[in-house]
Structure 1
Amino acid sequence: MEWRCEWCEKPHEENDPPCDNCGHGSFEKAVRQVNHEVVPGGTVWICQDCGRSHQRNSPPCKRCGGADLELREGPPETDPLDEIGTRWLDVLEPKYVAGYAVVALLLGVLLLSVAGLISLPTLGGPDGPPQVPEAPGSGDSVGGLSLAEVEDAYVAELNERRQAEGAGVLDRNATSDEAAAYYNKATVAAVAGEGERPDREAITRFALPCDRPTLVSYRVAPERTGQPVSEFQNETALATTLVDSYVERGNAFSDGDTVGVDVHVAPDDTIFVTYVVC
């Protein structure tokens, strides 16, 4: 007659405890025949916390440390975590929780950007605007004259000439100013042999208020102005001379609503002017 463990009921051929399944130290005579064909896998102990199978009732669980094992009959179910050695509770470890938080934050920022609630910075790559380069000379002031004020006076004088010719008045646009500064200063650097010539198409990578901007770029040598920049009486006088130089060459005024302008004085006193009309 077969023997079985009093605790887990595993059948044994001999009364030779302890049980090789659960480690129990007492057997009893079997009162029913165990059909090994029906239960080919014998009995297993299943952790109630993570589902891992154990051959013995010997908590804690080898995977999650749980103390609640339940006896079940039949072949053990395949658990994919047995192959990769990861516990179900591992997903709650701090390193995983931190990763989930970072992913959630990035997704949240992306969704807010798509919705237009926040703006992400451009990195100046192929799809972003080019960087305004350094250029020799001065883009701030020369001989006590503020080139920023010269630019303001230039737009005012340009609008007076446009109105006289029946063209519309242009409003100053900050993004167009940046596009003009990129092209103008890159031109100064290229002429001085300190950089490459600007890409005319690159100004379209700025967020301009139009798809087809008009770019006007020219230079005024000291011989044309008749005096060094530092000897001009004020910013308005210099701006008027620069607009005169453009008009005297027979150039027409472009249609548009906005304008951006940049004035830069090279080391040899040549004045570089670029403006963008949209």
Structure 2
Amino acid sequence: MKWRCEWCGKPHEENDPPCDNCGHGTFEEAVTQVNHEVVEGGPRWVCLDCGRQHQKNSPPCNRCGGSNFERRTGPPEEDPLDEIKTGWLDVLEAKYVVGYVTVALVIGILLLGLVAGVPLPGFAPETSAGPPPIPDAPGQGDSVGSLSLAEVEDAYVDVYNVRRATISGGTVTRNGTADDAAAYYNKGRVGVRYENAEPPTREGVSRFALACERPSVVHYEVAYDRPPRSVEQFGNETALATALVDSYFERGHPVRPAEVGTIGVDVHVGPDGRVFVTYVLC
């Protein structure tokens, strides 16, 4: 008496499952003699990755190594790769393989830059190149009436040092780079007041090559725009500078510590006579 697999119909001499064709675990008694070969149109297992047909559900696939098999019945499907006796890996030309590898490397580098913050060639973040420009501001930045604002700034530092010395704050020395930083900030504030310009920033000040990492930036305004008071009432630059320094300390502002002892000053008079003062202290 012969036995055959209930699932795929493979004949067996003994009732000794599992089936060595499909792995099924139940046999049935054969009523008639069956062919020892798998019948045409019988069950087969097809790899869903490459289409290779197999007699058993025994992954991995002999062609592509895939493990996703599907049981099908009916006449075997034509597989063009069986005719040329090759596998899917054989149809990959070397130039395509190089292309795939290159793309994989590029994606890997991009991911490394995003996740780990590694700077990438050609993708480096933009860095600020030098200090920002000193803006043009409405009003007077060189002179007002008979007064030279450059001399007012010199006198301002002298008077400011006297005030510092009286309260044991130590004196400071005027510095050209700090002057530029003060002019950038001061004239920027003038533009904000009269023209709604973009305001200056502390980051912009830090882009100047100052002698300290954290400078003190002090900005204030003195209103000489209401008659009968005006800037022209001051007889000389020292008188105006003294009034500007006194206005600062009379408001109760403290003497700020100087890390390296340098200062930059900018004095600007607005269109209405208001005086704008900024000093940058290191």
Q: Of 142, 145, 149, which residue of structure 1 is paired with 2:144?
A: 142
Are the aligned partners of 2:131 and 2:208 in contact in 1 as well (CA < 8 Å)?
yes
How far residue 225 of structure 1 moved from its aligned partner, in angstroms, is: 9.8
Task: Output the CA distance in 2 between the equivalents of 1:170 and 1:139.
Answer: 23
Task: Output the CA distance in 2 between the equivalents of 1:184 and 1:254.
Answer: 18
Are the aligned partners of 2:225 and 2:273 in contact in 1 as well (CA < 8 Å)?
no
Are the aligned partners of 1:128 and 1:205 in contact in 2 as well (CA < 8 Å)?
yes
Match of 1:192 in 2: 194
The Cα offsets for residues 183-226 of structure 1, whole Å up to 9 and x where unpaired, read as 00010011112521111221000000011100000000116896
Task: Output the CA distance in 1 between the equivalents of 2:206 and 2:214.
Answer: 8
Match of 1:241 in 2: 243
- 169 and 196 in structure 1: CA distance in 2 versus 1, 3 angstrom threshold: same
Are the aligned partners of 2:225 and 2:272 in contact in 1 as well (CA < 8 Å)?
no
Task: Output the CA distance in 2 between the equivalents of 1:244 and 1:194.
Answer: 29
Task: Specify the code of the residue in structure 2 equivalent to 1:228.
Answer: S
The Cα offsets for residues 236-277 of structure 1, whole Å up to 9 and x where unpaired, read as 000000001100000011111000000000000000000000
**1:76-225 pair list within 5 angstroms:** 126-222=128-224
Task: Output the CA distance in 1 between the equivalents of 2:242 and 2:214.
Answer: 27
Task: Specify the code of the residue in structure 2 equivalent to 1:159.
Answer: N
Structure 2 SS opposite 1:215: strand
Structure 2 SS opposite 1:152: helix
Structure 1 SS opposite 2:195: coil
The Cα offsets for residues 53-97 of structure 1, whole Å up to 9 and x where unpaired, read as xxxxxxxxxxxxxxxxxxxxxxxxxxxxxxxxxxxxxxxxxxxxx
- 160 and 146 in structure 1: CA distance in 2 versus 1, 3 angstrom threshold: same
Task: Output the CA distance in 2 between the equivalents of 1:208 and 1:185.
Answer: 19
Aligned length: 154
Match of 2:264 in 1: 260
How far residue 127 of structure 1 moved from its aligned partner, in angstroms, is: 3.4
Are the aligned partners of 1:225 and 1:241 in contact in 2 as well (CA < 8 Å)?
no
The Cα offsets for residues 20-48 of structure 1, whole Å up to 9 and x where unpaired, read as xxxxxxxxxxxxxxxxxxxxxxxxxxxxx
Task: Output the CA distance in 2 between the equivalents of 1:234 and 1:225.
Answer: 19
Task: Specify the code of the residue in structure 2 equivalent to 1:148.
Answer: A
Are the aligned partners of 1:184 and 1:274 in contact in 2 as well (CA < 8 Å)?
yes
TM normalised by structure 2 equals 0.53
**1:37-56 pair list within 5 angstroms:** none
Task: Output the CA distance in 2 between the equivalents of 1:225 and 1:157.
Answer: 26
Are the aligned partners of 1:143 and 1:231 in contact in 2 as well (CA < 8 Å)?
no
Q: Which runs of 5+ in 1 are unaligned?
A: 1-124
Q: Does 1:273 align with 2:264?
A: no
Task: Output the CA distance in 1 between the equivalents of 2:139 and 2:226.
Answer: 19
Match of 2:53 in 1: none
Task: Output the CA distance in 2 between the equivalents of 1:223 and 1:254.
Answer: 29
Task: Specify the code of the residue in structure 1 equivalent to 2:190.
Answer: V
TM normalised by structure 1 equals 0.54
Task: Output the CA distance in 2 between the equivalents of 1:251 and 1:206.
Answer: 25
Q: Does 1:228 align with 2:263?
A: no
Task: Output the CA distance in 2 between the equivalents of 1:176 and 1:129.
Answer: 11
Structure 1 SS opposite 2:268: strand
Are the aligned partners of 1:175 and 1:207 in contact in 2 as well (CA < 8 Å)?
yes
Structure 2 SS opposite 1:254: coil
Name the % identity.
56
Q: Which runs of 5+ in 2 are unaligned?
A: 1-126
Structure 2 SS opposite 1:222: coil
